[in-house]
Amino acid sequence: MIDPATLSDRGKQILSATRPSGLTLLKPRDVDGHKGTYGRALIVGGSLGMAGAVGLSGMAALRAGAGLVRLAVPRGIVSIVASYEPAYMTTPLAEDDDGRLHRSATASLMEATKPATVVAVGPGLGRGAGVSEIALRLFAEVKQPAVFDADALNALAEHRNTLSTHIGPRILTPHPGEFERLVGGRKFADRSTMCEAAAKLAADTQTVIVLKGHGTFVTDGTRGYTNTTGNPGMATGGTGDVLTGILTALLCQEFEPWDAACLGVFVHGLAGDLAAADLGMPSLIASDLIRYLPPAVQSAIAAGK
């Protein structure tokens, strides 16, 4: 991990010049706090060949401050996922012949959501009928705040009429292609028009939408926030999975979905900027963001108590 004191001169300049102005910040930790104080994250994802995605999310959730993190994954990849980071827990679930979650895992998974503070669904899930059934069930029935990303969004896009049917707060994190699927395959002439459509979808579905890309746009249908951190080096596989972990951790720490989404994209982008300053944009990979999360998170902690 990167300590702020060991950043390059360029990294230190970025850190001192980049402040989360106007955003809700993390509170300093209470001296009496314990791991339960900072929330229990359940991240549902992974499949054969995509074990790394859910692993990245889990590691990011830990580095962004979640107290306890559990990854629910197909049983065939549980040993791979567990090997990435000993600080999170794993729950093995039934899998289909292609190494994806099987629909028979639904009951066990719903039980696993009960003690969770926050649920995240999607990193590395893969696509299939069973996966879609599980994602839709979680979207509709989980009472806790939940983040939906990646293939969970593709499952929702196949059943767009269900996007308003949920009983808990929801954050959706589509990249442009996933967003186009969420709105029925509509194509957009420019980014501005896409952001307008995101605001309408958020209002219609009572969700917070994080429309990823250059100047990631966050909207709840009435407000909009355009992020100012991040760089093209982050256009590489796995960076979205890291964002999912960060958002999950902030929700675990009692942020409202809007506040979590705005601060989350800021911290995510800042970690990417710090990594790029030291490593260069072409060489940046998703796990570098996790290495640079500590100074990015540190910058987002409110001074004093």
| Rounded CA separation 4/203 (Å) | 39
Could you tell me which residues come within 8 angstroms of residue 218 by beta carbon, excluding any fewer than 6 positions away? 208, 209, 210, 211, 224, 225, 226, 227, 258, 261, 262, 265
What lies within 8 Å, CB to CB, of 284 at 6+ separation is 233, 234, 236, 272, 275, 276
Query: Residue 177: CB partners within 8 Å, gap ≥ 6?
Result: none
Encoding tokens for residue 109? Answer: 């998974």
> Cα–Cα distance between 45 and 57 in angstroms, integer?
9
Check whether 15 has a pLDDT greater than 90. no
Q: Which of 13-17, 119-123, 262-266 has the lowest mean pLDDT?
A: 13-17
Q: In this model, does residue 5 exceed pLDDT 50?
A: yes
- Looking at residue 220, its pLDDT comes to 98
Domain residue extents for the chain: 37-296
Instruction: Give burial (CB, 10 Å; 0-12/13-18/19+) of 192.
Output: exposed
Please give the average per-residue pLDDT across 158-163, as a whole number: 92
Q: Which residue intervals of 158-210 are DSSP H helices?
A: 176-182, 191-205
Considering the chain, what is the average pLDDT of its residues?
95
Quote the Cα angle for 135-141-145, to 5°.
85
For residues 109 and 127, give the distance between their C-alpha atoms in angstroms, rounded to a whole number. Answer: 18
What's the pLDDT tens digit per position in 41-86? 999 999 999 999 999 999 999 999 999 999 999 999 999 999 999 9
Looking at residue 104, what DSSP letter applies? G
Q: What angle do CA 285, 286, 290 make, to 5 degrees?
A: 120
- The arithmetic mean of pLDDT across residues 214-242, rounded, is 98
**Parallel, antiparallel, or unpaired: how do β-strands 146-148 and 118-121 relate?**
parallel
Residue 187's Cβ-count burial label (10 Å; 0-12, 13-18, 19+) is: exposed
What pLDDT does residue 82 have?
98
Quickly state the pLDDT bin for 305 (edges 50, 70, 90).
Answer: very low
Residue 218 CA to residue 48 CA, distance in Å, equals 32
Within 10 A of 287 (CB to CB), how many other CB atoms are there? 17
| Threshold 0.85, pTM exceeds | yes
> What would the pLDDT profile of 170-203 be if each residue is shown by its tens digit?
999 999 999 999 999 999 999 999 999 999 999 9
Portion of the chain with pLDDT greater than 90, in percent: 92
| Confidence band, pLDDT 50/70/90 cuts, at residue 303 | low
CA distance 34 to 88: 16
Strands of the sheet containing 208-211, edge to edge, are 89-93, 68-74, 40-44, 118-121, 146-148, 170-172, 208-211, 217-219, 224-226
List residues bridging with 142 in a β-sheet. Answer: none
Quick check: 208 pLDDT over 80? yes
What's the CATH code, domain 37-296?
3.40.1190.20
Model pLDDT for residues 239-264, shown as the tens digit of each residue? 999 999 999 999 999 999 999 999 99
